[in-house]
Amino acid sequence: STGAELDAAVIAADHSRVFHSWSAQAHLPAFSVAGGQGATLWNHAGDRWVDFSSQLINVNIGYQHPKVVAAIKEQADILTTIAPSTANLTRAEAAGKILSHAPAPFEKVFFTNAGADANENAMRLARLYTGRDKIISRYRSYHGNTGAAVVATGDWRRIPNEFARGHVHVFGPYLYRSEFWATTPEEECARALHHLERVIQAEGSETIAGILLETVPGTAGIMVPPPGYLAGVREIADRYGIVMICDEVMAGFGRTGSWFAFEQHDVVPDLITFAKGVNSGYVPAGGVLISSPIAHAFDERVFPGGLTYSGHPLAMAAIIATITAMEDEHIVENAADVGATVIGPALTALADTNPIVGDVRGTGVFWAAELVADQATKEPLPASRMAAIKSACLAGGLIPTIADNRVHVVPPCVITPEEATHGMQILADVLNEEAGR
């Protein structure tokens, strides 16, 4: 059979047997991938795409990094699985590698299978450590698909899943669509902090265990916080004895152009959750970085939580190799550089000239272009036109991430300036054509 026939057969087989996430099962995208390398993917028919999605914004190191693939194979020959309670060299080394990029107060790592269960356990730690009950998170956020994580989530996915209790939501800073009638970043920052503090007081500050926030909200629209916002959250958390949890599942491990996003905001949280970029999903893994006071609160007290695959050796080997390759090949620096020299300028040029580009924002390889039908009213571009943009990008050789009325430009951190320039040209052509409709 031809490659195209194989792609069609794969799609038909998948759609007939695989039950898909977040989807009506009769309306699935028809897209098959056969392989990839770096920032490029291809199908069986031989069509190739520059990947501006990193899948679910997790393949920071790109596809098939040879050193990570080799490390997984090597570990498979040594030991493929071991219980969490058993000391294991690969796990201890992976924890050390992660901690080496975290600031001083971080002392231990609790490993999970992914990001949602990292947030579950961070919220649990905050609750046990403070003896308090409620978690504050933001409306514009995604924290994962499990019990408390999905209820901490701000977007529509929380609403049909609201079975956990003890969750309160606030609005965060988002100047383009300010909830606070702000016209400057300074106003937006001060008013968002005032709102947060008033909610804490109104809920009863002695009931709030933790504030859980994506350092840079990702899925919700890549809103880089205004200067001073995270430091303000830190100050409020300290004043009320609340644990500050930074969800770095999407923002961490190079995505923003630094190892952790909070480094760019002069702030140190009490707990950090991570997954995705820690090993680019080559083997599922996530976890919680725990600062000393919280870690030592469980020296004598039992931590009531665990997972069969916590610190799985194949995932740990992938973490060590991923972080080592990112260090050796300056991949985090590359993300910062490509963002500053290619993606940022290209998006800014589009915003200046293209009437459907309402706002662009981002850092590193973590950017969003917000598309509008009308610059003045900021009316979001309708779903039908977003779908047309997605199809045109794919036809042009680019995999975009489309979220509501936004295009997120979130390639692997290894993307070269040339590949990023090529991808931005495809995107610009598509958006300019769409603006002419």
For ligand PLP, the binding residues (CB under 6 A) are 56, 114-116, 119, 142-144, 214, 218-219, 247, 249-250, 275, 286
Q: How far is the CB of 198 from ligand PLP (least distance, A)?
A: 25
Q: Judged by CB, which is closer to ligand PLP: 288, or 357?
A: 288
Q: Judged by CB, which is closer to ligand PLP: 75, or 121?
A: 121
Q: Judged by CB, which is closer to ligand PLP: 40, or 58?
A: 58
What sign has the CA pseudo-torsion 305, 306, 307, 313?
A: positive
Q: How far is the CB of 119 from ligand PLP (least distance, A)?
A: 6
Paired sense of beta strands 286-291 and 379-380, if any:
unpaired
Q: How far is the CB of 183 from ligand PLP (least distance, A)?
A: 29
> What is the spatial distance between Cα 374 and Cα 356, in angstroms, rounded to a whole number?
7
Please give the residue whose beta carbon sits closest to ligand PLP in the complex. 115
Q: Judged by CB, which is closer to ligand PLP: 115, or 412?
A: 115
Q: How far is the CB of 57 from ligand PLP (least distance, A)?
A: 7
Whole-angstrom CA distances from 153 to 68, 160, 170, 270, 323 are 32, 12, 11, 20, 28
Closest CA to 405 of 429, 377, 424: 377
253 with 325: CB under 8 angstroms?
Answer: no
Q: Judged by CB, which is closer to ligand PLP: 43, or 264?
A: 264
Q: How far is the CB of 408 from ligand PLP (least distance, A)?
A: 11
> What is the spatial distance between Cα 285 and Cα 269, in angstroms, rounded to a whole number?
21
Q: How far is the CB of 223 from ligand PLP (least distance, A)?
A: 12
Q: How far is the CB of 44 from ligand PLP (least distance, A)?
A: 27
> What is the spatial distance between Cα 271 and Cα 161, in angstroms, rounded to a whole number?
25
Q: Judged by CB, which is closer to ligand PLP: 219, or 354?
A: 219
Q: Which two tokens stand for residue 321?
A: 């190799």
360 with 369: CB under 8 angstroms?
Answer: yes
361 with 223: CB under 8 angstroms?
Answer: yes
Q: How far is the CB of 436 from ligand PLP (least distance, A)?
A: 34
Q: Judged by CB, which is closer to ligand PLP: 22, or 181?
A: 22
CA atoms within 13 A on the CB side of 301: 11
Q: How far is the CB of 153 from ligand PLP (least distance, A)?
A: 8
**Which ranges of 131-271 would DSSP assign to H, the alpha helix?**
147-152, 185-203, 229-240
3-class SS shares of the chain: helix, strand, coil, % to 5:
45, 20, 40
Q: Judged by CB, which is closer to ligand PLP: 54, or 354?
A: 54
Instruction: Compute the chain's Rg from CA coordinates.
Output: 22
276 with 252: CB under 8 angstroms?
Answer: yes
> What is the spatial distance between Cα 75 and Cα 315, in angstroms, rounded to a whole number?
9
Q: Which residues pair with 348 in a beta bridge?
A: none
Q: Which two tokens stand for residue 166?
A: 């003890």
Q: Judged by CB, which is closer to ligand PLP: 59, or 424?
A: 59
